[in-house]
């Protein structure tokens, strides 16, 4: 077996001076569908323009890859791109390949966009055990949707959310974006309030960033648009937290809110620096020691598969120290913060010995604070200000 193919096994052997034990670890499975009808103006994710014939060929390869997986997965996440752009036949092929594995899944998510989701696809998702639908809504304001380059209208998005709920899905997540050029606090409040009227159990709210290579970035460079000031964006972020928390949602991660009992299991595994396998172009896999990144381009990905080669563009082997630092940088994104005991159990490192200097620096900037219990320091977490500057904190921990 190729050394890297060990990725497909879930048996991790932990060796210390005194013991050798074998631990069966569960992990998340991410399946990337890299196709979209058109490119949104802000998007820098890897995606290609959808063509039914090529997508069919790609799904064939994915199904074969799924058949070879040997791990137990606790969550499956079919993301993109736009998974709902696939036709019913292709979706069914993929879902039945996953179903044949009979994994004891805790959560099964499919990402959809309002314009390509229909009744037949929803029925298929229900029949194959999908229990979480994540909808790329982005906004409930037509003018904003147009600026973002989205294909759906506000009305369509609302109707689709209601339709998903009426089909028996109780775990529905919506993506919203804020901080667009010219956007006002009033408009952003309207988006949040519309979302709260709908039956969402989870909301992900993303601050717009002008990533290189996107259409919005080009316009920014040409000077035809002007970004909002940092103060304005910060006040929009504060508004998200106040409005959604006021409506009973938990702010459990910097960009994510849920009703009690509905956090995203798949993403929580990422933030815990847990193990995962990624299938598809640009997807990433991590087995606790090595991180593999797949090549971009579904044509190349398919070709590699038929040549019997792994479709990998980079392999990073992590030292225990690097892994521990990454765990700190990821886990701090969660509202619960980093519990020192949890950190020691997960990484083998004492948090303060490893990150004490960075914590002092971040505490000086009022971005993190200690968690105290029974008069003792038990952990560290972001302050309200730290939530907005979480990238600075994560960078300090790395």
Q: Which is nearer to ligand SF4, 40 or 264 (CB)?
A: 40
Q: Which is nearer to ligand SF4, 116 or 390 (CB)?
A: 116
Q: Which is nearer to ligand SF4, 41 or 238 (CB)?
A: 41
Q: Which residues pair with 173 in a beta bridge?
A: 134, 202
Residues 40-59 vs ligand SF4: string with x where CB under 6 A?
x--x-x-x------------
Q: Which is nearer to ligand SF4, 33 or 233 (CB)?
A: 33
* Backbone dihedral angles phi then psi of residue 224, each to the nearest 5 degrees: -80, -15
**Any contact of residue 80 with ligand SF4 (CB under 6 A)?**
yes
Q: Which is nearer to ligand SF4, 9 or 37 (CB)?
A: 37
Q: Which is nearer to ligand SF4, 139 or 394 (CB)?
A: 139
Residues 6+ apart with CB under 8 A from 229: none
Choose the binding region for ligand SF4 from 20-28, 75-83, 316-324, 338-346 (rule: CB under 6 A).
75-83
Going from the C-alpha of 245 to that of each of 99, 196, 299, 335, 387, the distances in angstroms are 37, 11, 45, 13, 14
**Any contact of residue 210 with ligand SF4 (CB under 6 A)?**
no
Contacts 24+ apart (CB under 8 A), 351-359: 351/379, 351/380, 352/377, 354/321, 354/324, 354/325, 354/328, 355/325, 355/328, 355/397, 358/396, 358/397
SS3 395: helix
* Shortest spacing between CB 137 and ligand SF4, in angstroms: 11
**Any contact of residue 214 with ligand SF4 (CB under 6 A)?**
no
**Any contact of residue 124 with ligand SF4 (CB under 6 A)?**
no
Residues 239-268 that bind ligand SF4 (CB under 6 A): none
Residues 136-155 that bind ligand SF4 (CB under 6 A): 136
Burial of residue 104 (CB within 10 Å: 0-12, 13-18, 19+) is exposed
SS3 163: helix
* Backbone dihedral angles phi then psi of residue 321, each to the nearest 5 degrees: -65, -45
Choose the binding region for ligand SF4 from 33-41, 226-234, 312-320, 386-394 (rule: CB under 6 A).
33-41
Residues 81-110 that bind ligand SF4 (CB under 6 A): 81-82
* Shortest spacing between CB 109 and ligand SF4, in angstroms: 15
28 alpha-carbon distance from chain centroid: 11
Q: Which is nearer to ligand SF4, 6 or 39 (CB)?
A: 39
What is d(CA 396, CA 354) in angstroms, rounded to the nearest whole number? 12
Task: Answer for the pair 276, 294: CB distance below 8 angstroms, yes or no.
Answer: no
Task: Answer for the pair 106, 74: CB distance below 8 angstroms, yes or no.
Answer: yes
Query: Could you tell me the two tokens for 238?
Result: 């504060």
Q: Which is nearer to ligand SF4, 39 or 217 (CB)?
A: 39
Among 113, 255, 269, 394, binds ligand SF4 (CB under 6 A): 113
Name the nearest CA neighbour of 206 among 256, 134, 266: 256
Choose the binding region for ligand SF4 from 34-42, 225-233, 245-253, 278-286 (rule: CB under 6 A).
34-42
What is d(CA 125, CA 133) in angstroms, rounded to the nearest whole number? 9
Among 6, 39, 56, 369, binds ligand SF4 (CB under 6 A): 39
Per DSSP, which regions of 52-131 are E strands? 73-80, 107-112
**Any contact of residue 342 with ligand SF4 (CB under 6 A)?**
no
Q: Which is nearer to ligand SF4, 36 or 135 (CB)?
A: 36
* Residues in contact with ligand SF4 by the rule CB under 6 A: 36, 39-40, 43, 45, 47, 80-82, 113, 136
């Amino acid at each position: 077996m190729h050394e890297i193919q060990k990725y497909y096994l879930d048996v991790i052997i932990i060796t210390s001076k005194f013991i050798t034990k074998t631990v069966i670890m569960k992990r998340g499975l991410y399946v990337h569908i890299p196709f979209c009808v058109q490119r949104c103006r802000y998007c820098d994710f890897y995606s290609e323009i959808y063509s039914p014939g090529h997508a069919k060929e790609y799904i064939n390869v994915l199904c074969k890859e799924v058949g070879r997986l040997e791990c137990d997965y606790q969550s499956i996440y079919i993301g993109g791109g736009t998974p709902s752009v696939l036709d019913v036949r292709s979706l069914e092929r993929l879902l039945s390949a996953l179903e044949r594995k009979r994994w004891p899944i805790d959560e099964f998510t499919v990402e959809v966009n309002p314009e390509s989701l229909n009744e037949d696809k929803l029925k298929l998702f229900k029949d194959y055990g999908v229990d979480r639908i994540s909808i790329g809504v982005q906004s409930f304001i037509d003018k904003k949707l147009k600026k973002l380059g989205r294909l759906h209208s506000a009305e369509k998005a609302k109707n689709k959310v209601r339709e998903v709920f009426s089909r028996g899905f109780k775990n529905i997540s919506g993506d919203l974006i804020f901080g667009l050029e010219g956007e006002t606090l009033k408009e952003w409040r309207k988006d949040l309030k519309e979302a709260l009227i709908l039956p969402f159990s989870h909301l992900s709210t993303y601050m717009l960033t002008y990533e290189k290579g996107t259409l919005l970035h080009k316009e920014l460079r040409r000077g035809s648009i002007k970004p909002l000031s940092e103060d304005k964006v910060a006040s929009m972020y504060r508004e998200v937290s106040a409005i959604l928390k006021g409506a009973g949602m938990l702010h459990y991660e910097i960009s994510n809110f849920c009703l009690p009992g509905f956090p995203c299991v798949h993403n929580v595994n990422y933030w815990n620096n847990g193990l995962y396998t990624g299938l598809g172009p640009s997807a990433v896999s991590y087995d606790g020691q090595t991180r593999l990144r797949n090549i971009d381009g579904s044509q190349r990905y398919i070709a590699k598969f038929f040549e019997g080669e792994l479709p990998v563009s980079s392999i990073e082997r992590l030292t225990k120290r690097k892994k521990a630092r990454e765990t700190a940088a990821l886990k701090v994104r969660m509202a619960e913060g980093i519990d020192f005991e949890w950190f020691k159990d997960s990484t083998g490192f004492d948090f303060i010995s490893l990150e004490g200097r960075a914590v002092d620096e971040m505490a000086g900037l009022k971005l993190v604070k200690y968690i105290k219990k029974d008069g003792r320091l038990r952990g560290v977490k972001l302050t309200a200000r730290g939530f907005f500057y979480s990238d600075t904190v994560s960078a300090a921990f790395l």
